[in-house]
Amino acid sequence: MSAPADRFSLAGDVAVITGASSGIGRAIAEQFAADGADVVVCSREQENVDPVADGVNEAAEAADGDHGRCLAVECDVTDRDAVDALVEATVEEFGGLDVLVNNAGASFMAGFEDISENGWKTIVDINLHGTFHCAQAAGEHLADGDGGAIVNLASVAGQRAAQYMSHYGAAKAGVINLTETLALEWAGRDVRVNCIAPGFVATPGVETQMGVSADEVERGDVDRRIGTSEEIADVARFLASDAASYMTGETVAAQGVPQGEQLPNQ
| Catalytically active residues, by annotation | 168
Among 9-17, 86-94, 102-110, 143-151, the segment contacting ligand NAP (CB under 6 A): 102-110
Q: Closer CB to ligand NAP, residue 88 or residue 146?
A: 88
Q: Which of 31, 159, 179, 203 is in the footprint of ligand NAP by CB under 6 A?
A: 203
How far is Cα 11 from Cα 206, in angstroms, rounded to an integer? 31
If one counts every other C-beta atom within 10 angstroms of the C-beta of residue 223, the result is 8
CB of 95 to ligand NAP, least distance (A): 24
Start-to-end CA distance of the chain, whole Å, equals 38
Among 40-48, 56-64, 179-187, 239-247, the segment contacting ligand NAP (CB under 6 A): 40-48
3-state secondary structure of 263: coil
194 binds ligand NAP (CB under 6 A): no
How far is Cα 25 from Cα 236, in angstroms, rounded to an integer? 10
At residue 144, φ and ψ (nearest 5 deg) are -70, 155
Letters for 157-186 (x = contact with ligand NAP by CB under 6 A, - = none) are ------------------------------
At residue 237, φ and ψ (nearest 5 deg) are -65, -40
Count of residues engaged in binding ligand NAP, rule: CB under 6 A? 32
Q: Closer CB to ligand NAP, residue 197 or residue 242?
A: 197
If one counts every other C-beta atom within 10 angstroms of the C-beta of residue 257, the result is 9
How far is Cα 167 from Cα 226, in angstroms, rounded to an integer? 23
Q: Closer CB to ligand NAP, residue 22 or residue 177?
A: 22
Among 6-14, 42-50, 89-97, 139-147, the segment contacting ligand NAP (CB under 6 A): 42-50
Q: Which of 25, 139, 169, 174 is in the footprint of ligand NAP by CB under 6 A?
A: 25
Letters for 45-84 (x = contact with ligand NAP by CB under 6 A, - = none) are x--x--------------------------xxxx------
Q: Which of 59, 85, 89, 106 is in the footprint of ligand NAP by CB under 6 A?
A: 106
Q: Is 221 exposed, middle or buried (0-12, 13-18, 19+ CB in 10 A)?
A: exposed
CB of 5 to ligand NAP, least distance (A): 28
Residue 200 and residue 232 in contact, taking contact as beta carbons nearer than 8 Å:
no
Among 14-22, 113-121, 141-149, 215-223, the segment contacting ligand NAP (CB under 6 A): 14-22
Alpha carbons within 13 angstroms on the beta-carbon side of residue 178 total: 24
H helices within the chain, ranges in order? Answer: 23-34, 46-63, 80-94, 117-124, 130-142, 166-185, 204-210, 214-219, 229-240
Q: Which residues are at the interface with ligand NAP (CB under 6 A)?
A: 18-25, 42-45, 48, 75-78, 103-106, 126, 130, 153, 155, 198, 200-201, 203-206
